[in-house]
């Protein structure tokens, strides 16, 4: 059970104060800078990247870093810098899809579970127990393998293992505010369940869910990269960082740049998300402020 | 820190001295055998492990395609080429103590055909097997078949002890047991197989012939070629197989390492599944053949360690003739697609397997080459057994593949490849059917007149190029990196991937 | 009281385990398409496939199939691997010790290094050691394991050559008793194998431990800080007790409780991390085996290993909960 699911409400002034705190934390700023840079690079990839990420040029294969190719080239003569730049798009797409879908599904189920309680709650929570009973990566691998190796299936697998976390967070939050006055008032006024859930309860569940989501982003990136590294994620010629390291492995001894730069990109991205996530948690949950 | 690393070094050196026995060979391999049963497997990885645990009636002589006596001391072939009579060596026992005799040989062919898996295909020409006396056996053929004698020297011709029947479960002819063990007369036997780690062959101390110099051969399973290459450089293994071209190129000139290199008949293809939409149109298949940058593949991916294949029969075979070579001509390819009505483009999938690392590299090139003529290619990577299963079921659009001959006759590259009853793993991996071709390849098999047979082969080669069910990519050199202390290695192009463990020794 | 708590926890496990079985069943029986075709292998005739379908009960309705499957698993029969043609249970027994040795060493490493690091970090709060350890923990939890493994392999094996590379052992393994090389070589007095196996463990176990190490450091630090700020610690200090004694006696003891939770939760992460580690270091373990099974669509094996891993994971978490209950007097069951 997570420590921050018990109640607190968010108001405008609190958000403003939170932003002020974010500004004052240096590490959080580093995290924010990394994430902003990632988004900028992803959006403007076609303008930033010096070459196409998939265009092969056999004459230029396995060239060390140089002015023309700052990160060197891979075994098909593709520019690694351009592939790393385009890789940010793949990574962001995975993040948005996985977090978006898990957030949607998990929050909805959590809402239903917490609001209705009883056997609905019992069933949903037992189901989420089951998913949490597997180490995440192993289950994701098994699902991805069963569906067939592709990036889309890896995303499906990740959604399948991730939704219970959001369901639990939301449920806890719902339980804590279900009986609060304004909900009771709305119910007394004859509002429908759907309306109460969406208008009154959901807005008050948002912030812990957001905290969970920002904390999860780093892990999503790592899991996706690991799935691709093992071969259950992105397929060629997609410039996915984990897949690039996987192929570059066979060039480790003589061509160090092949694995170095995509790996570094994963490390920095995950670090950015983690720093930002820690900061967001500290800000939105004043109860527990544990710095890294 | 320096002190610590010094200590570590010492521990390592002492350790190294302790284990590096002179009569032990460690060969690093990237794939494990499917099974050890010679009557079941047609997989090179299995053959490598078991070939020297068994003997065959006849054997290849050293590095040549000539045949010498094996378990058979001598043999006669009748005038009409229909009966083969073998006189067997006497006084040999299998490793399990069962005596070797004509009945044992007969049992082998009974088992082979009863199991009816891939290896049985090699002996399809056999009509009947007769035991004449304890040490004489006669094979009767359906029709004369030129390479018949060579077939007995292939791995499929391994003679297994009838004693395996003691391990039979539910009428499986001992398959379950033999998939993990060996029961032959050969210079080695499989002593231990720790799956996922290593397979150990030990010397058969009671071997009837010249005993092996090595007491033990360890096939160490290291799935990643880069790991293998590092282990070889550090001297932890003696031979490394299936390294990538790039890795082998950088190993050349490393002190203590020798890269054995020889021309081979290892041919790489793209199989185009002729039963699939788009690919069932010969114009599409030709367009694909026109679209590929062969020279780029040879120069940069194979870095000169391969030549472009010139048609279905490899260079070096007597039957090979220079047939039409599709040039790299994307315009022509586009025109063909337009003619076929596919100018809007379409999507195809191509399979490869990490077992041959160059396939992935070629897949990237092919993907781009075909994109230029409007065909989107999705690349899929499968484990080796999965790829083979999909080939066998025709569940693919295009696939990379390679083939090495078991005997030096163009039949290996024609009948297996084009005969429509060989669809799938037996050889016709393009699921190709052309009745004219069927007639040609069946005629070639029974033709005795060499000139007439050559004319048939020429027709086959022209028709094969015209129908284009395969893209003929490259014929690669065989390269085997090993430590210089490995001596006595003899290369036989018919026994590719099967180093002669019986002759190799180590001299440090 | 405690017995009651444990009994309740065990009872709650029943539906979870049933669910776990259902998921592995779905993965191995439905998703991959025609299971009979897969089991039969290439070139099977329709008759053979039909026979297999009957033999494995694949022609029956799904709920019956699930019941059959449940029965098999309860009898300890995990089926037969398509790839290795051996019982999955035998394969797991063969591959599990390698994974167990690796994850246990990694966990020990993480605990033995992580707790002192965290304590030092807390004691030297906002000074250099603290900054260093905090930077380390940020990097640690963000590091892709597979990339770290490659870096270490490159540095210590290829460049410096002071540690062995891929594999569990260079020469012959020690005589098989438990399958744990360290243990077996100790038992048989095989010192060559002991040194060899221990050195081979260094890089993979450190790679695997890295993220957990970072997490433990971080958790120890923050709970130490919390504990050191408590009244009784301040009292102890005021009484003039030696600083080191205060830290160990009063701070660490209380700080260990949340750390314990992290350790338990991290075990699952170690099992997941073992996948990449075993691939990088050619480690012949269970997760390596299951990746091979997954790529060759060997679903009986995938199902068996996933099930075993889930059970291990559940058991470890249960043990942590129980220990937690034992250690923390505030917990009421």
Asked if the model's pLDDT at residue C77 lies above 70, the reply is yes
Asked if the model's pLDDT at residue C255 lies above 60, the reply is yes
Asked if the model's pLDDT at residue A28 lies above 50, the reply is yes
Domains observed in chain C? 18-74 (no CATH), 95-327 (1.10.3720.10)
Asked if the model's pLDDT at residue A13 lies above 70, the reply is no
Question: Using beta carbons and an 8 Å cutoff, which residues of B are at the interface with C?
Answer: 5, 8-9, 11-12, 14-16, 18-19, 35, 117-118, 176, 179-180, 194-197, 220-224, 227, 230-231, 234, 236, 382-386, 388-389, 392-393, 424-425
Q: Could you read off the pLDDT of C34-60 as tens digits, one per residue?
A: 666 666 655 556 666 777 777 767 777
Residue C315, preceding bond cis, omega within 30 degrees? no
What span, in angstroms and rounded, lies between the C-alpha atoms of A170 and A212? 10
Residue A121: CB atoms within 10 Å: 18
3-state secondary structure (DSSP) of residue B508: coil
Judged by average pLDDT, the poorest of A131-140, B12-21, B109-118, C301-310 is B12-21
pLDDT for residue A291: 39
Those residues whose C-beta lies under 8 Å from the C-beta of residue B75, and which sit 6 or more positions away, are B57, B58, B69, B84, B85, B86, B87, B149
Q: Averaged over A194-209, what is the pLDDT?
A: 79
The mean pLDDT of chain B is: 90
3-state secondary structure (DSSP) of residue A149: coil
Q: Is A231 on the interface with B (CB under 8 A)?
A: yes
Asked if the model's pLDDT at residue B312 lies above 90, the reply is yes
Buried b (16+ CB within 10 A) or exposed e, C195-226: bbbbbbbbbbbbbbbbbbbbbbbbbbbbbbbb
| Predicted ipTM of the assembly | 0.88
Asked if the model's pLDDT at residue B11 lies above 60, the reply is no
Which structure tokens are listed for A114?
A: 């917490």
pLDDT for residue A1: 32
pLDDT for residue B295: 94
pLDDT for residue C253: 73
The mean pLDDT of chain C is: 84
Q: Is C333 on the interface with A (CB under 8 A)?
A: no
pLDDT band at B15 (very low <50, low <70, confident <90, very high): very low
Best CA proximity match to A180, nearest among A156, A200, A157, A161: A200
Asked if the model's pLDDT at residue C312 lies above 50, the reply is yes
Q: Is C87 on the interface with B (CB under 8 A)?
A: no
Domain A2-288 in CATH 1.10.490.10? The answer is: no
Question: In terms of DSSP bridges, do strands B398-403 and B375-381 run parallel, antiparallel, or are they unpaired?
Answer: unpaired
pLDDT for residue C54: 76
pLDDT band at C7 (very low <50, low <70, confident <90, very high): confident
Q: How far is B241 from chain A (nearest CA, A)?
A: 14
Q: Could you read off the pLDDT of A84-103 as tens digits, one per residue?
A: 999 999 999 999 999 999 99
pLDDT band at B22 (very low <50, low <70, confident <90, very high): confident
- State the first-to-last Cα distance of chain B, in angstroms, to the nearest integer: 33
What span, in angstroms and rounded, lies between the C-alpha atoms of B335 and B346? 15
Q: What angle do CA A286, A288, A289 make, to 5 degrees?
A: 85
Q: How far is A63 from chain B (nearest CA, A)?
A: 13
Q: Phi and psi for C71 in degrees, rounded to 5?
A: -60, -45
Residue B330: CB atoms within 10 Å: 17
pLDDT for residue C30: 61
Of C16, C142, C272, the CB nearest to A130: C16
Q: How far is C213 from chain A (nearest CA, A)?
A: 13
Asked if the model's pLDDT at residue B16 lies above 80, the reply is no
Those residues whose C-beta lies under 8 Å from the C-beta of residue B123, and which sit 6 or more positions away, are B109, B112, B113, B151, B156, B157
Q: Could you read off the pLDDT of C17-34 as tens digits, one per residue?
A: 888 888 888 877 765 556
User: A253, B250: Cβ pair inside 8 Å?
Assistant: yes
Q: Could you read off the pLDDT of C175-232 as tens digits, one per residue?
A: 888 889 999 999 998 899 999 999 999 999 999 999 999 999 988 888 888 877 776 6
Q: Averaged over B230-242, what is the pLDDT?
A: 92
Residue A156: CB atoms within 10 Å: 17
Judged by average pLDDT, the poorest of B250-264, B305-319, B417-431, C22-36 is C22-36
Buried b (16+ CB within 10 A) or exposed e, A85-97: bbbbbbbbebbeb
Of B35, B227, B424, the CB nearest to C282: B227
Those residues whose C-beta lies under 8 Å from the C-beta of residue A148, and which sit 6 or more positions away, are none
3-state secondary structure (DSSP) of residue C254: helix
Asked if the model's pLDDT at residue C331 lies above 70, the reply is no
Asked if the model's pLDDT at residue C103 lies above 50, the reply is yes
pLDDT for residue C8: 83
Q: Could you read off the pLDDT of B161-214 as tens digits, one per residue?
A: 999 999 998 888 998 899 899 999 999 999 999 888 899 999 999 999 999 999
Q: Is A251 on the interface with B (CB under 8 A)?
A: yes
Of A56, A249, A250, the CB nearest to B364: A56
DSSP alpha helices (H): ranges in B2-43? 2-19
Q: Could you read off the pLDDT of B439-475 as tens digits, one per residue?
A: 999 999 888 888 999 999 999 999 999 999 999 999 9
pLDDT band at A5 (very low <50, low <70, confident <90, very high): very low
Q: Transcribe B87-116 into DSSP letters.
A: EEPSS-B-TTSPBP-HHHHHHHHHHHHHH-
Q: Could you read off the pLDDT of B26-68 as tens digits, one per residue?
A: 999 988 888 899 998 888 889 999 999 999 999 999 888 889 9
The mean pLDDT of chain A is: 85
Asked if the model's pLDDT at residue B495 lies above 70, the reply is yes
pLDDT for residue C44: 57
What span, in angstroms and rounded, lies between the C-alpha atoms of B146 and B152? 12
Asked if the model's pLDDT at residue A104 lies above 80, the reply is yes
User: B8, C162: Cβ pair inside 8 Å?
Assistant: yes
Q: Phi and psi for A79 in degrees, rounded to 5?
A: -75, 120
Asked if the model's pLDDT at residue C329 lies above 70, the reply is no
Nearest CA in chain C to B230: C158
Asked if the model's pLDDT at residue A187 lies above 80, the reply is no
DSSP alpha helices (H): ranges in B219-354? 225-233, 245-251, 282-291, 294-296, 330-339
Nearest CA in chain B to C292: B383
pLDDT band at A290 (very low <50, low <70, confident <90, very high): very low
Query: Which of B220-224, B433-437, C162-166 is most confident?
Result: B433-437
User: A58, B365: Cβ pair inside 8 Å?
Assistant: yes
Judged by average pLDDT, the poorest of A16-20, A280-284, C126-130 is A16-20
Interface test with B, best of A250, A252, A253, A255 (most B CBs within 10 A): A250
Asked if the model's pLDDT at residue A117 lies above 90, the reply is no
């Amino acid at each position: 059970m997570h420590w921050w699911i018990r109640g607190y409400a968010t108001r405008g002034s609190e958000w403003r104060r939170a932003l002020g705190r974010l500004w004052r934390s240096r590490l959080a700023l580093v995290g924010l800078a990394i994430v902003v840079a990632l988004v900028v690079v992803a959006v403007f990839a076609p303008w930033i990247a010096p070459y196409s990420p998939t265009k092969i040029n056999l004459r230029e294969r396995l060239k060390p870093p140089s002015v023309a190719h700052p990160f060197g080239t891979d075994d098909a003569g593709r520019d690694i810098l351009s592939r790393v730049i385009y890789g940010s798009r793949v990574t962001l797409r995975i993040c948005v899809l996985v977090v978006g879908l898990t957030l949607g599904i998990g929050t909805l189920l959590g809402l239903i579970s917490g609001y209705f309680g009883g056997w609905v709650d019992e069933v949903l929570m037992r189901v989420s127990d089951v998913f949490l009973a597997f180490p995440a990566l192993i289950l994701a691998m098994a699902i991805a393998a069963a569906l067939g190796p592709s990036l889309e299936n890896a995303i499906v697998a990740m959604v399948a293992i991730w939704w219970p976390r959001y369901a639990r967070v939301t449920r806890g939050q719902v339980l804590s505010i279900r009986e609060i006055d304004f909900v009771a008032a709305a119910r007394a006024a004859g509002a429908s369940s759907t309306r109460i859930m969406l208008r009154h309860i959901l807005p008050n569940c948002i912030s812990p869910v957001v905290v969970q989501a920002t904390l999860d982003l780093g892990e999503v990136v790592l899991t996706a990269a690991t799935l691709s590294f093992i071969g259950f994620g992105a397929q060629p010629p997609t410039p996915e960082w984990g897949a690039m390291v996987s192929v570059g492995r066979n060039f480790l001894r003589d061509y160090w740049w092949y694995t170095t730069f995509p790996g570094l990109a994963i490390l920095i991205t995950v670090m950015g998300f983690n720093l930002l996530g820690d900061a967001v948690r500290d800000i939105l949950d004043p109860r527990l402020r544990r710095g890294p | 820190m320096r002190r610590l690393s010094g200590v570590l070094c010492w521990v390592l050196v002492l350790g190294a001295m302790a284990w590096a026995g002179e009569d032990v060979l460690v060969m690093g391999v990237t794939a494990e055998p499917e099974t050890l049963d010679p009557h079941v497997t047609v997989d090179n990885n299995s053959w490598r492990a078991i070939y020297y645990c068994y003997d065959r009636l006849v054997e290849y002589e050293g590095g040549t395609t000539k045949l010498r006596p094996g378990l058979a001391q001598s043999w006669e072939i009748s005038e009409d080429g229909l009966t083969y009579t073998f006189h067997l060596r006497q006084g040999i026992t299998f490793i399990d103590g069962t005596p070797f005799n004509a009945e044992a040989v007969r049992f082998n062919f009974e088992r082979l055909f009863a199991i009816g898996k891939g290896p049985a295909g090699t002996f399809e020409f056999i009509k009947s097997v007769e035991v004449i006396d304890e040490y004489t056996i006669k094979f009767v053929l359906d029709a004369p078949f030129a390479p018949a004698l060579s077939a007995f020297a292939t791995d499929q011709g391994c003679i297994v002890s009838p004693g395996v029947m003691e391990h039979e479960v539910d009428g499986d002819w001992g398959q379950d047991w033999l998939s993990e063990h060996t029961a032959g007369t050969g210079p080695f036997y499989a002593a231990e197989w720790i799956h996922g780690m290593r397979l150990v062959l030990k010397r058969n101390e009671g071997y009837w012939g010249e005993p092996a110099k090595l007491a033990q051969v360890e096939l160490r399973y290291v799935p990643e070629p880069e790991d293998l290459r590092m282990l070889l450089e550090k001297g932890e293994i003696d031979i490394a197989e299936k390294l990538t071209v790039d890795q082998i190129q950088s190993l050349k000139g490393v002190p203590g390492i020798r890269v054995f290199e020889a021309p081979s008949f290892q041919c790489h293809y793209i199989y185009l599944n002729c039963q699939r939409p788009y690919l069932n149109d010969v114009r599409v298949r030709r367009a694909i053949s026109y679209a590929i940058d062969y020279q780029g593949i040879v120069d940069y991916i194979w870095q000169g360690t391969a030549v472009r294949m010139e048609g279905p029969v490899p260079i070096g075979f007597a039957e090979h003739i220079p047939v039409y070579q599709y040039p790299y001509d994307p315009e022509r390819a586009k025109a063909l697609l337009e003619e076929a009505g596919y100018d809007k483009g379409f999507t195809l999938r191509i399979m490869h397997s990490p077992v041959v690392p160059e396939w992935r590299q070629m897949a990237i090139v092919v993907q781009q080459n075909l994109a230029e003529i409007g065909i989107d290619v999705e690349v899929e990577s499968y484990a080796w057994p999965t790829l083979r299963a999909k080939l066998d079921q025709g569940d693919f659009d295009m696939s990379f593949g390679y083939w090495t001959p078991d005997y030096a006759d163009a039949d290996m590259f024609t009948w297996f490849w084009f005969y429509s009853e060989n669809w799938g793993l037996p050889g016709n991996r393009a699921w190709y059917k052309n009745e004219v071709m069927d007639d040609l390849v069946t005629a070639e098999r029974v033709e005795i007149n060499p000139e007439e047979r050559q004319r048939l082969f020429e027709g086959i080669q022209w028709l094969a190029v015209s129908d284009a069910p395969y893209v003929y990519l490259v014929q690669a050199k065989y390269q085997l990196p090993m430590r210089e202390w490995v001596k006595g290695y003899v290369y036989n192009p018919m026994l590719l991937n099967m180093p002669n463990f019986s002759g190799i020794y180590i001299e440090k | 009281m405690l017995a009651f708590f444990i009994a309740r926890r065990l009872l709650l496990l029943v539906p979870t385990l049933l669910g776990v079985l259902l998921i592995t069943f779905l993965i191995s029986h439905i998703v991959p398409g025609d299971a009979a075709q897969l089991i039969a292998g290439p070139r099977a005739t329709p008759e053979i496939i039909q026979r297999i379908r009957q033999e494995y009960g694949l022609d029956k309705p799904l709920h019956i199939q699930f019941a059959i499957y449940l029965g098999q698993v309860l009898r300890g029969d995990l089926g037969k691997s398509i790839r290795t043609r051996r019982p999955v249970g035998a394969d797991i027994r063969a591959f599990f010790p390698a994974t167990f040795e690796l994850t246990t060493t990694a966990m020990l490493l993480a605990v033995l290094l992580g707790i002192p690091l965290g304590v030092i970090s807390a004691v030297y709060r906002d000074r250099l050691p603290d900054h260093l350890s905090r930077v380390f923990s940020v990097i640690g939890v963000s590091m892709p394991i597979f990339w770290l493994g490659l870096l270490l392999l490159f540095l210590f094996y290829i460049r410096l050559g002071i540690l062995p590379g891929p594999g569990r052992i260079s020469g012959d393994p020690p005589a098989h008793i438990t399958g744990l090389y360290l243990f077996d070589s100790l038992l048989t007095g095989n010192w060559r194998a002991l040194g060899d196996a221990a050195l081979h463990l260094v890089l993979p176990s450190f790679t695997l431990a890295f993220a957990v190490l970072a997490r433990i450091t971080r958790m120890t630090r923050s709970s130490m800080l919390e504990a050191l700020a408590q009244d009784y610690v301040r009292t102890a200090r005021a009484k003039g007790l030696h600083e080191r004694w205060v830290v160990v006696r009063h701070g660490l003891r209380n700080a260990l409780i949340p750390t314990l939770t992290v350790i338990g939760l991290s075990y699952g992460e170690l099992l997941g991390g073992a996948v990449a580690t075993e691939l990088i270091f050619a480690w012949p373990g269970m997760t390596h085996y299951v990746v091979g099974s997954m790529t060759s669509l060997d679903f009986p094996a995938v199902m068996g290993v996933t099930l075993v891993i889930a059970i291990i994971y559940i058991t470890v978490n249960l043990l942590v909960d129980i220990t937690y209950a034992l250690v923390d007097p505030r917990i009421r069951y």
